[in-house]
Amino acid sequence: MNLRPPVTLADIAREAQVSIGTVSRVLNGREGTIKISQATASRVLDAAQRLGYQPNPFAAALRTQRTGVLGAILRDMGDPFLSELARALQRAAHKQGFELLIGHADYDQETAQRQVAFMLNHWFDGLFLLGNIPGDAALLAMVQQSRTPCVAVASGMQLPVPLVTVDEVQGTLLSLEYLFHLGHRHIAFVGYMEHAGVSERLATFRQFVQDRGLVWHDEYELRCGCTSGDVSSRLHQLLSLSSPPTAIFCASDVLALRTMSIAWQHGFHLPDQLSIIGFDDIESAAESAPALTTICQPIPLMAHEAVSMLRTLIDGLLYDVDQDRRIVQPELIVRASCSSARP
């Protein structure tokens, strides 16, 4: 009879001098974004053998009770970024052997809660939250009580749950530096303040304006409500100013495309008279006139990371809390919607 306590992944990690995440990946044959060398893999396997590691039979038993189905609660199906993210998550889930069903929160807390309750009652293996959902703290409490693994994607940095999100500060700086180098000193901000990450983008914008001593009018900051429908009238006001901006930083591509339409209607010639930059890089960004310069959130990578994180949690593996937040790096995609500021 073996009286020693069971060997954990943490024991193996110590023995092999690698992270717990690496042990988990090697023992479970998972891919990750960082390749594991053959040498490291051998060291992990040797350490596991030396210590007499046995996979946890309880985890294995649980594993057989899986439904193989994941759920995604989506803030808003009409948001192209979120629907592209949901599609990518589904494809990543399929690759890892899971089915995905979608609950549409439709910006409504009660709707989201009922859908989560259904998913929990029907033994979904794990859940994703996509975008920030009204009442998400209450949702998470339900999920955590049920001990169902959950990963938040593009839901901001505030939720006490493993999450995958883009580096908001870096994305905003990439955008603003680009406009600055094109000579723009009159830059406006437009954003839907209810959306996750937009307050970080605004804070970074304000800091940039101050640090670089840009020209400033209070009308240059359009903090909009996404359901209040006041965006169009406020954009019209912005473009009617006696001193309109020469460039607009839009906190989403959807807003950038709207801004573009309204600018055309106001008789601005794009991009010579007004530069517009977006955020997200949704599919239709490449098809606007002019094609939209924007900040790409790497959707396939975010989806892959989110599915891998959720799978690790579902497998009941020890999970390094320090790795719970995967901040992915955005990229500037230069197309045709920004030009040099006219002297």
d(CA 146, CA 136): 15
Cβ-count burial 119-132 (b if 16+ within 10 Å, e if not): bbeeebbbbbbbbb
C-beta of 331: minimal distance to a copy of itself in Å? Answer: 21
Q: Which of 77, 137, 193, 203 binds a copy of itself (CB under 8 A)?
A: 77
| The residue count for the chain | 343
For position 234 contacting a copy of itself by CB under 8 A, the verdict is no
Q: Which of 84, 200, 281, 305 binds a copy of itself (CB under 8 A)?
A: 84
C-beta of 192: minimal distance to a copy of itself in Å? Answer: 15
Q: Which residues pair with 27 in a beta bridge?
A: none
Residues in contact with a copy of itself, counted by CB under 8 A, come to a total of 38
C-beta of 248: minimal distance to a copy of itself in Å? Answer: 15
C-beta of 257: minimal distance to a copy of itself in Å? Answer: 8
For position 21 contacting a copy of itself by CB under 8 A, the verdict is no
Query: Are 136 and 105 contacting, i.e. CB atoms less than 8 angstroms apart?
Result: no
C-beta of 239: minimal distance to a copy of itself in Å? Answer: 12
| 210 vs 228, beta carbon nearer a copy of itself | 228
Instruction: Considering only the stretches 7-15, 47-55, 92-100, 209-217, report the one whose residues sit in contact with a copy of itself under the rule CB under 8 A.
Output: 92-100
Q: Which of 8, 40, 56, 83 binds a copy of itself (CB under 8 A)?
A: 83
The label of the residue with tokens 């497998």 reads 315
Using DSSP bridges, classify how beta strands 221-224 and 99-104 pair: parallel, antiparallel or unpaired: unpaired
For position 236 contacting a copy of itself by CB under 8 A, the verdict is no
For position 207 contacting a copy of itself by CB under 8 A, the verdict is no
d(CA 88, CA 91): 5
Nearest to 245 by CA among 206, 286, 216, 279: 216
List C-alpha distances in Å: 108 to 78, 79, 223, 305.
Answer: 14, 15, 21, 27
For position 56 contacting a copy of itself by CB under 8 A, the verdict is no
- State the alpha helices, DSSP H only, in the chain: 9-16, 20-28, 38-51, 57-64, 80-95, 109-121, 136-145, 168-181, 198-212, 231-240, 253-265, 299-314
Instruction: Considering only the stretches 35-43, 75-83, 138-146, 202-210, report the one whose residues sit in contact with a copy of itself under the rule CB under 8 A.
Output: 75-83
| 158 vs 261, beta carbon nearer a copy of itself | 261
DSSP annotation of 285: G
Nearest to 156 by CA among 189, 200, 196, 215: 196
For position 63 contacting a copy of itself by CB under 8 A, the verdict is no
For position 160 contacting a copy of itself by CB under 8 A, the verdict is no
For position 289 contacting a copy of itself by CB under 8 A, the verdict is yes
C-beta of 191: minimal distance to a copy of itself in Å? Answer: 17
Query: Are 173 and 146 contacting, i.e. CB atoms less than 8 angstroms apart?
Result: no
Long-range contact pairs involving 215-218 (C-beta distance under 8 Å, separation at least 24)? 215/185, 215/186, 215/243, 217/241, 217/243
Site string for a copy of itself, 108-127 (x = CB under 8 A): ---x--xx--x---x-----
Instruction: Give the number of other Cβ atoms within 10 Å of residue 191's Cβ.
Output: 24
Q: Which of 62, 63, 99, 194 binds a copy of itself (CB under 8 A)?
A: 99
For position 91 contacting a copy of itself by CB under 8 A, the verdict is yes
* List of residues contacting a copy of itself (CB under 8 A): 67, 69, 77-78, 80, 83-84, 86-87, 90-91, 94, 99-104, 106, 111, 114-115, 118, 122, 232, 257-258, 260-262, 264-265, 283-284, 287-290
